[in-house]
Amino acid sequence: MTAGMRPTDEEIYRRMRGGDRSALAELYERLAGRIHRYALYTSGRRQMAEEVTQEVFLRLMGSGGRFDQSRGSVEAYAYGLARNLLRRMPKTVSALSEEPFSGGDLLDELIDDERTAALYEALAELPVGYRDVVVFCDLEERSYEEAARLMQCPVGTVRSRLHRARQLLAAKLAPLNATAFEVGAR
Amino acid sequence: MVGCREWTAKVVDDARGGMGPDESLREHLATCPVCAGRWRDERVLTRELQILNDRVSDARLPRTGFDAVVREFDRQKRERRSVRTRWTWAAAAAAATLVMVLVVLHPGTTNPASEPDTSLAAASSEDGFVPVPYAPALAQGEFVTVLREELDPAALVRMGLPADGLGEDPVMADVMVGEDGFPRAVRVTKDSDF
């Protein structure tokens, strides 16, 4: 690390593995929120998302941590751990749509709790590669390049998967759109 | 002419960007109901995803998760330290055992505890005592007794002592024995000493 430069996740990870408690806090600060959101987007369950986040860190610092820097970043590795943990957990339903949403224009009115739940279900039903690309690019608002790095695939693959994933999501939500537009037109 | 398939990427990108369609796309949407439908779906989807994002962004990761991770971190650290300590003790015990085995097999050569033996050897040069080879080392502070005995030269040979020039007749000798009764050194005496 050069003086004055922000240490990389990998440097912090190595310090943490060496027993540095402050490095653990720093890595948690950087990654936990992202992993938590990813788990939340993917599962739709707060408790599960919290458990997955915790488990990811336990594995990162435990003896089972098999991170290999030559194969990608710590962040990509952490997402991979989360993805595998989520895959082993039971299918989810939305638990986030607890508060009714109130919007202004027609588009907002289309989106109520039922739609949020439907979107969650549609997301959960997507193949993992498609779901991840939606989470990274559309929900976390990362660039194609960042998503490609996290998913360890070419940028072109990210782009094509995103288009296809959005098409699948739109198709699943289309019946709700039609109903809402009919209601909105009255 | 650009087909609908080619327009799809632009529909998705423009809808994701949150801006309206550019001039060329707008013209296409006006004439293509399929792409117009996709455009509408994409815009709705973009907005829904934004709302979902806002909701999830509000979700806070509870502090308890971090506390649990830190507790586990500390526990693992303690365990690693404990394992290291155990290994250190095990290595020390193994080294001590090895030294003891060497002492038993090679007394007076490898064990620092055989220092009395060394001093006995030194004394032998002055008093005429010859240490018995491979005899168990004397413990520090162990008392010895000197016994005058009539020894057969063959007995000296059996103890590993040189018997050259003694002939075949028994000789008088001072035998230094430890508290265990084992001989540690022998001094052949002249008949006149007896």
Q: Do A108 and A70 reside in the same domain of the chain?
A: no
Domain count, chain A: 2
Clarify whether residues A83 and A146 are in a common domain: no
Chain A residue numbers with beta carbons less than 8 Å from the beta carbon of B38 are 167, 170
Does residue A10 lie in a domain region? yes
- Domain match, A48 and A75 both: yes
Q: Convert B132-184 into a string of H (helix), E (strand) and C (coil).
A: CCCCCCCCCCCCCEEEEEEECHHHHHHCCCCCCCCCCCCEEEEEEECCCCCEE
Q: Mind listing the pLDDT tens digit for each residue in A41-80?
A: 888 778 888 899 999 999 988 755 678 888 889 999 999 9
Q: What is the pLDDT of residues A113-129, one digit of tens each?
A: 677 778 888 888 899 89
Decide which of A91, A118, A153 is a domain's last residue.
Answer: A91
Of A135-144, B36-45, B87-96, B178-187, which gets the smallest average pLDDT? B87-96
What ipTM goes with this model?
0.73
In B, minimum Cα distance to A32 occurs at: B61
In chain B, alpha helices (H): 4-17, 23-31, 33-58, 63-105, 115-127, 153-158
Are A77 and A114 members of one domain? no
CATH of the domain at A177: 1.10.10.10
A19, A58, A115 member nearest B48 (Cβ): A115
Residue A120 domain-assigned (yes or no): yes
For residues A2 and A87, membership in a common domain is answered with yes
pLDDT tens per residue, range A83-101: 999 888 765 444 444 333 3
- Evaluate whether residue A130 is within a structural domain: yes
Task: Please give the structure tokens belonging to residue A146.
Answer: 């960042």
Phi, psi of A12 (to 5 degrees): -65, -40
Q: Which member of A28, A37, A138 has the closest CB to residue B69?
A: A28
Suggest the residue from A57, A63, A133 to mutate for an interface test with chain B (most B CBs closer than 10 A): A57
Give residue B11's identity as a one-letter amino acid code: V
Q: A-chain residues within 8 Å CB-CB of B42?
A: 166, 170
Q: Tell me the residue range of the domain where A48 lies.
A: 1-91
Examine the fold and report which residue of A66, A91, A116 is the final residue of a domain before the chain moves on.
A91
What pLDDT shows up at residue A57?
92
Q: Give the list of residues 6+ apart from residue A181 with CB closer than 8 angstroms, or none.
A: A110
- pLDDT score of A3: 52
CATH number at residue A14: 1.10.1740.10
Residues A35 and A116 in one domain: no
